[in-house]
Amino acid sequence: MFNYNYEIASLLFLGIVAWRFTKFRQFPLLSNRVFGIILFFATADILCDIASIVTMRPEFPVCVSFTFNTLYYILQLLIPCALIVYMLALLSNTRKITSMHYIKAMLPSFIFTAVMLIGLPMGYVFSISSDYVYSRGPLSGITYVGFSVNILISLVLLYYFRKEIPAAVRNSYIFLTVISVACVFIQYLNHSLLVTSIGLTASITIMYFNIQDPNRMLDSTTDAFNHSAFRIFLDSCINGNKHINIASFHINDLRRANTLYGNKNTDRLLKNYSQFLSSRNNPWVFRLSGARFVIITGSDDEIDRISQYPAVFSITTDTGSLLTVDISRYIIKSAEKLNTNILLNIIESTSIISGSNNDRFFEINEKTVKQVERKIRIESILKDSVETGTGFSMNYQPLYSAEKERFVSAESLLRFFHPELGTIHPDEFIPVAEAKGLAPRLDEMVIGLVFKEISAGTFDALGFDYVQINLSVESFANENIISYIRQMLRKYSVSPDFIVFEITETATSCSSDVIRNKMLMLRKMGFRFAMDDFGTGYSSIARQLTLPFSIVKLDKSLLSSSRDIFSELVRVLSRLGVTIIAEGVENEEEAEFVKDTGVRILQGYYYSCPVPADSLRQSVEKTPER
């Protein structure tokens, strides 16, 4: 009397979907998990239906079929309820969905289920008769009512949030509703035609096509979740107001690893590293960029454990290749305005967060968010400003010669003013410009401005012997830099021996042939070079001085922290015959100390702050005899 061939066919289909769903590592989004539950419910539902029919025979006790049948109807109430939860889970990617929302959405189904269960022993829903296995009671239509109520709720939700639900999901929902209503209706009219399962299976198959494509969420080299997965996951964490900790693993010198071990071996190494990270009970391992992996966890203890991972990684079977890793961890403390973009920015540019310490432990709070917002803002305005040159001006800080007892030079220092953000310091915008590849353009602009000032006679009038210009190391990669400088020399009739270019010690410690060749060319033209911020890097003096530097500027930090090193460096450098400049001389005591060590040229607030060109004379004359 019951024909369950449809059910068997449905079961096969569901089996295929379930196999695909479990075979590929699914991105464990809430909506994907709910889909897993729906899949499970549907399979169980159909199995119960088949079981209730198969056991409807005299050789089985009556209660067996009865139980399966009851389960079948309960699941029919739970499936549409799960569909509503699925929709809420989708919405949680874009808005805050609380557990209260979920409870409200599930309430009708629970009430119907409760009524059904309570009605059961009284025979209101189904009763067991002697000839039939069971028969329908006066309340047997309750499952249909419950089903319809749930469908109605989901349609209302769908209409209400139509703008936030992806079109594909929306359409499949409508399709799914039509099909299941039709099937339930058919079955309601004709009990022996078990087509509900067909509708259910068709709907689930369609839904499956709309869930996250697992391959799009994975990084193909390492099998870790990729950047887009990270975005989706973070969005859902932030919207759900979840407490999260993040550990970041930055692989140092990946490029060098590629040259040393070859791309293939490095990829293998990375894959192994990714596996190492995920094998330690960390489900949420993401590869954020080529050199950065990230783990997210909600537990504070776990993040402590994770950040203790070794900083050196090699494959046990091969001792040749290894990666060194910088591990940082971030805890998120009440940051209301935090969004995924800002968080990504924080992780990618930790150096700009003030208050970070050597422990590489970062607390993300309102202040960090503000700093990063400012940085993002600077990034967005810098490009246009650099292109048009608006907002930039030069300041000059005079350099005092203790030997000649007068000011002999000035260092040009760039200033940037923005109507909304106010004055932005070079320490803030130069790193951004360098990261954005804008530094060469910026340096060209500075060269133009300073040459123009020189040709206006500002420095001659003050009796200066030369002017110093800071260059970013990126400028040496600029093909046109030399011809640009030549062009400017001609335009402003400036003599190269009036110019000293400053390049930082750290920039030149990774010295390449490109830097060296360009420096030699400029040197030949008559320019000189000063090594800036000496004493902050780790390079050996001997190696540094293989580059054509004639001046070394001792970093201001040496003066305030390590006087012994300062004197020692001065002694060594004097013997090498380079001119020494002491930076950051802030008071008389420091000036005396510096002069005692034998340094002849001094620069710092004690002599003068950096000032605009037209204030330079006043600044120089105001300074009493030193």
* Binding residues for Ca ion (CB under 5 A): 470, 502, 532-533, 583
Partner whose footprint covers residue 295, from ligand C2E, Ca ion, none (CB < 5 to 8 Å by kind): none
User: Which of residues 425 and 524 has its CB atom nearest to ligand C2E in the complex?
Assistant: 425
What three-state secondary structure class fits 96? coil
Which listed option, Ca ion, ligand C2E, none, makes contact with residue 505 (CB within 5 to 8 Å by class)?
none
Instruction: Kindly tell me which of 199 and 604 has the beta carbon lying closer to ligand C2E.
Output: 604
Three-state secondary structure call for residue 225: strand
Q: Please, which contacts does 305-310 make with residues 24 or more away whose CB atoms are closer than 8 Å?
A: 306/247, 306/280, 306/282, 307/247, 307/360, 307/361, 309/249, 309/277, 309/280
Give the C-alpha separation, 436 to 544, whole Å: 27
Nearer to ligand C2E, 7 or 532 (CB): 532
Which residue lies nearer to Ca ion by CB, 49 or 555? 555
CB nearer Ca ion, residue 453 or residue 502: 502
CB of 540 to Ca ion, least distance (A): 20
Q: How far is the CB of 353 from ligand C2E (least distance, A)?
A: 19
**Phi, psi at residue 534, to the nearest 5°?**
-65, 135
Least separation in angstroms between CB 445 and ligand C2E? 9
Which of 176, 507 has the CB closer to ligand C2E?
507
Q: Least distance to ligand C2E from the beta carbon of 101, Å?
A: 51
H helices of 55-166, in order, are 62-91, 99-119, 142-160
The single residue listed with the structure tokens 């799960």 is 82
Residue 222 interface partner, choices ligand C2E, Ca ion, none, CB cut-off 5-8 Å depending on type: none
Minimum Å gap between C-beta 463 and Ca ion is 22
Give the residue from 151, 88, 81, 91 showing the smallest Cα distance to 114: 81
| Nearer to ligand C2E (CB atom), residue 31 or residue 412 | 412
Interacting partner of 426 out of Ca ion, ligand C2E, none (Cβ under 5 to 8 A depending on kind): ligand C2E
Please state, in angstroms and rounded to a whole number, the distance separating the CA atoms of residues 354 and 156.
48
> Which CB, 111 or 609, lies closer to ligand C2E?
609
Least distance between ligand C2E and beta carbon 310 (Å): 35
Binding partner selected for residue 446 from ligand C2E, Ca ion, none, CB under the kind-specific 5 to 8 Å limit: ligand C2E
In whole angstroms, the minimum distance from the beta carbon of 547 to Ca ion comes to 16
Residue 569, token pair as written in the block: 């460096």
Distance, CA of 444 to CA of 451 (rounded, Å):
11
471 binds, among ligand C2E, Ca ion, none (CB under 5 to 8 A by kind): ligand C2E
CA 76 to chain centre: 43
DSSP reduced 3-state for 483: helix
- By CB under 6 A, name the binding residues for ligand C2E: 397, 412-414, 425-427, 430, 443, 446, 470-472, 502, 532-533, 556, 584-586, 604-605, 610
The Cα angle at residue 480 between residues 478 and 484, in degrees rounded to 5: 120
The one of ligand C2E, Ca ion, none whose footprint includes residue 604, by CB under 5 to 8 A per kind, is ligand C2E
Minimum distance, C-beta of residue 589 to ligand C2E, in the bound complex (Å): 13
Question: Residue 414 binds which entry of ligand C2E, Ca ion, none, with Cβ cut-offs from 5 to 8 Å by kind?
Answer: ligand C2E
Provide the minimum distance between the beta carbon of 312 and ligand C2E in the complex, in angstroms, as a whole number: 32
Query: And the tokens for 428?
Result: 């803030």
From residue 347, alpha-carbon distances to 272, 276, 369, 371 in Å are 23, 21, 12, 13
DSSP state of 531: E
How many CB atoms lie under 10 A from the CB of residue 281?
9
Question: Which of 10, 468 has the CB closer to ligand C2E?
Answer: 468
Torsion of CA 100, 103, 107, 113, to 10 degrees: -160
| DSSP letter (8 states) at residue 339 | -
